[in-house]
Chains A and B, each alone.
Chain A
Amino acid sequence: MSSENSGQILKINAENKEFKEKIQDLSGEKIDLCFQCGACSSGCPMVQEMDYLPSKIIRMSQLGLKEVLSSKTIWVCTTCFNCEVRCPRGIDIANVMEAIRQVVLRQKFDKVNIDMLTPEELRELPQIAIVSNLRKLTA
């Protein structure tokens, strides 16, 4: 959904539909319930790091747009469930983020590389930080 596309008619094809199904299955969320109120985005602690707002990720998922796979948003999400608590439609947005991450991770992709950390960082970081980081960001 780059800006060059704005104003144009978006055609949803079979591939989009299939991709949307996949996200729904993996996340277990009925993303069509979203009516774009933006409550999720307004409470998100990481929006400054995001390219698409959480609500926009949901909209793009409704349309089955594969651009979500290359978005920064899915990786910087902290799974804090702030969006989940705020959503008036009962969607757990964090589940959708994880579903999209999983689609990418399952294609032999690791978002982070722990070998990049310095010995000093590794000495200081608590187990809980590294375990959770690697669970969310590596396959």
Chain B
Amino acid sequence: MSKNNNDFVTIYVMGKKQKVPADLTIMKAMEYAGHQFIRGSGCRGGFCGACATVYRMRGSYKLQGALACQKQVEEGMIIAQIPFSPSEKITYKLNEIKANANTFLEYFPEIARCLSCNTCTKACPQDIMVMDYVQAALRGDIKLAAKLSFDCLGCGLCAMRCPAEIVPYNIGQLARRLESKYIEGPTEQVLSRCEEIKEGKYDKEIESLKNADKETLIKLYNSREMKNE
């Protein structure tokens, strides 16, 4: 960064050079440069995983992964969005499948191709030990796979880079589902809430929400209760 440009950095959005304010996230910087996000953006808060981005720094061979809404721009970033990673939506009925050692292999036999190359871990913007959860799944360790993959957003960067063509996030998701259904859960709160819903405790509230106008909804949203646990 040169002195008089203190507050600006140069980035390359799909090869095109842009000068953008240095304190912006990749997403805001791209918008600043005139890009409009039609895909590849959702929550803007680091939760939905829609804004997967890959970049290289000038002068470095490393291909890195980031969430555009979270990562701040840096001088010399060469950026491309990966708004979608192609993967088949595997369907299974959680009530019917069993949580046993071979469940992962049954639905995702390609995990047997994992090379333990760790490329997925290197790609993950959430700093998850992706290789380790894929490997845990391969040996049927549902608990470990669920624990390690807990922070996964399904951004898809691991899947785009896996040389074995595995889609790790689908495996992590199955692990967490199996674990919460068969190993840890279902929790007290979930069960009692289900009861309440069945008894119609919230029917009135839902009805009034349905009829509310936009302004009221915004007000309600902003003053909503958040549970801290």
Q: Is the CB of A122 within 8 A of B113?
A: no
Q: Is the CB of A123 within 8 A of B113?
A: no
By size class, the interface of chain A is 10 to 19
Q: Is the CB of A131 within 8 A of B109?
A: no
Q: Is the CB of A123 within 8 A of B109?
A: no
Checking B105, B110, B113 against A125 with a beta-carbon cut-off of 8 angstroms, the contacting residue is B105
**A134 adjacent to chain B (CB < 8 Å):** yes
Known: A127-B138, A127-B139. A122 touches B102 (CB 8 A): yes
Checking A115, A119, A124, A134 against B113 with a beta-carbon cut-off of 8 angstroms, the contacting residue is A134
For window 129-171 of B, CB contacts with A under 8 Å fall at 138-139
Contact mask for chain B residues 108-126; partner A; CB cutoff 8 A; 1 contact, 0 none? 0110110000000000000
Q: How many of chain B's residues have a CB under 8 angstroms from any CB in A?
A: 9
Nearest neighbor of A115 in chain B, beta-carbon distance:
B109
A131-B113 Cα distance, complex, nearest whole Å: 6
Q: Is the CB of A122 within 8 A of B106?
A: yes
**A130 adjacent to chain B (CB < 8 Å):** yes
Task: Tell me how far the C-beta of A125 lies from the nearest C-beta in chain B, rounded to whole angstroms.
Answer: 7
**A117 adjacent to chain B (CB < 8 Å):** yes
Nearest neighbor of A131 in chain B, beta-carbon distance:
B112
Q: Is the CB of A134 within 8 A of B102?
A: no
Contact mask for chain A residues 100-129; partner B; CB cutoff 8 A; 1 contact, 0 none? 000000000000001101010011110100
Known: A127-B138, A127-B139. A138 touches B113 (CB 8 A): yes
Contact mask for chain B residues 74-118; partner A; CB cutoff 8 A; 1 contact, 0 none? 000000000000000000000000000010011001101100000
Query: Which residues from chain A sit less than 8 Å from chain B, CB to CB?
Result: 114-115, 117, 119, 122-125, 127, 130-131, 133-135, 138
A-B contact pairs, 16 of them (CB 8 A): A114-B109, A114-B112, A115-B109, A119-B106, A122-B102, A122-B105, A122-B109, A124-B102, A127-B105, A127-B139, A130-B112, A131-B112, A134-B110, A134-B112, A134-B113, A135-B113
